[in-house]
Amino acid sequence: MYYKPLTLKWRPKHFHELIGQHNILKLIENSFLLKRIQSVYLISGIKGIGKTSLARLIAKGLNCKNGITFRPCQSCCNCQEADSNCFIDLIEIDAASYTKIEYIKEVLDTIKYSPSKGRYKIYIIDEVHMLSKYSFNALLKILEEPPLHTKFILATTEIYKIPETIFSRCFHLNLQPIRKKYIIDRLKNILTLENVYYEEYALDLIAQSSQKSMRNALSLTEKALILGNNKILSNLVSKMLGIVHINEIFNLFEALILSNKEQLISFFEICAKKIVNWDDFLIKLLILIHQIILFQIYPNKMNFILKKEKYIRFQKISKKISTNDLHNYYQIFLKGRQELTYAPEQKIAVEMIILRAFLYSIN
């Protein structure tokens, strides 16, 4: 039997499995209940957030044998074929691979035919922004007056590339980046069903590194499972992701403020022994500086947010540096992160950024 990766095995088959999109799901549910079905849907959002999954769920809900429903039965032949990606009235087009007008015209010529089994013939055009200008023009003619038996669902990661003439004819569903809490909860649910041991901190690290994408989170979980011999362990996940612990980042920033050259050298000696995700390191450093600034402005409010140990540490460091200096450090590291792309090696770039910050501290 073939192994199915987590990203495919746990692709949403029900609307409620599409996490972190409550408002969008409520909109779809109400439109189905009221039978206010749109001719053209446009789904936008970052990669791995569930655009194609949502498109397939909408298609399944519209063609379920039990009627248009937000809760497809999963047992009728239409639902089962939709889940198996072999439903004859669901046509998926990858616009990234087929951008030319010849292919689009060939597909659009089939629109005049009625659906064979379903209520609607549904066309999902993924990465629609990749279509050529002429392909968009051909599509526009159909979208102006689509046949009643046809529905279009367009998906894109780059909404700004969609021509205004197309956009204005669409019912736009903008999927939001998924909050860390929702990703962790979903991973816990999946790993429990998979009967896999996991450490909560490991899931926290995975969610932090997922770039708010559920697909990324599942891909990282798959790697962690292989590394950990079917266990999700914090120490292995940390090494896999090249994560520098927040305490080490705090120590580094304290060394900068105190102009402690020896402690800075010690930090880089530790990092030299492991693979480090330097972009993640700079992001955490920027977040830390931001939190210290907030602490200086709202110390009483932060008392309820921070753990006692962290609060005491923030209290000590806040007395050693002004808000203006913190702001300048923030700008140094923010600009440095933008320069990472152009550096010959990220490690060298970060060393130069920290040197720049150190020179600022001694001046």
- Average pLDDT rounded to a whole number, residues 118-127: 93
Burial of 295 (0-12, 13-18, 19+ CB in 10 A): buried
Strands (DSSP E) contained in the chain are 40-44, 90-94, 121-126, 150-156, 171-174, 197-198, 231-232
**DSSP code, position 84:** T
202 in Cβ contact with 233 (< 8 Å) = yes
Q: Three-state SS for 128? A: helix
How much of the chain is helix, strand and coil, in % rounded to 5? 60, 10, 30
Please check the confidence at residue 339 and state whether its pLDDT lies above 90: no
Domain boundaries, the chain: 6-174, 180-241, 246-362
Burial of 286 (0-12, 13-18, 19+ CB in 10 A): middle
Please check the confidence at residue 299 and state whether its pLDDT lies above 90: no
Fold observed for domain 246-362: Zinc Finger, Delta Prime; domain 3 (1.20.272)
Q: How many CB atoms neighbour CB 254 within 10 A?
A: 16
Q: What are phi and psi of 39, to 5 degrees?
A: -80, -35
Residues contacting 261, CB < 8 A, separation 6+: 358
Residues contacting 96, CB < 8 A, separation 6+: 126, 127, 130
175 in Cβ contact with 190 (< 8 Å) = no
Please check the confidence at residue 166 and state whether its pLDDT lies above 90: yes
pLDDT in tens, 70-98: 999 999 999 999 988 899 999 999 888 87
Q: Three-state SS for 90? A: strand
pLDDT at res. 62:
95
pLDDT at res. 50:
94
Confidence band, pLDDT 50/70/90 cuts, at residue 193: very high
Please check the confidence at residue 138 and state whether its pLDDT lies above 90: no
Please check the confidence at residue 63 and state whether its pLDDT lies above 90: yes
178 in Cβ contact with 212 (< 8 Å) = yes
pLDDT at res. 39:
93
The amino acid occupying position 330 is Y
Fold observed for domain 180-241: Helicase, Ruva Protein; domain 3 (1.10.8)
| Exposure string for 169-204, b = 16+ CB within 10 A, e = fewer | bbbebebeebebebbbebbeebbeeeebebbeebbb
> Under CATH, which architecture does the 6-174 domain have?
3-Layer(aba) Sandwich (3.40)
Confidence band, pLDDT 50/70/90 cuts, at residue 219: very high
Of the candidates 130, 57, 72, 61, which has an alpha carbon nearest to the alpha carbon of residue 97?
Answer: 130
**pLDDT, mean over the chain:** 90
Please check the confidence at residue 47 and state whether its pLDDT lies above 90: yes
Beta bridge partners of 152: 40, 123
* Window from 27-41, 217-231, 338-352 with minimum mean pLDDT: 338-352
Provide the whole-model pTM. Answer: 0.85
Distance between CA atoms of residues 129 and 139, nearest Å: 12
pLDDT at res. 273:
77
Please check the confidence at residue 107 and state whether its pLDDT lies above 90: no
Please check the confidence at residue 212 and state whether its pLDDT lies above 90: yes
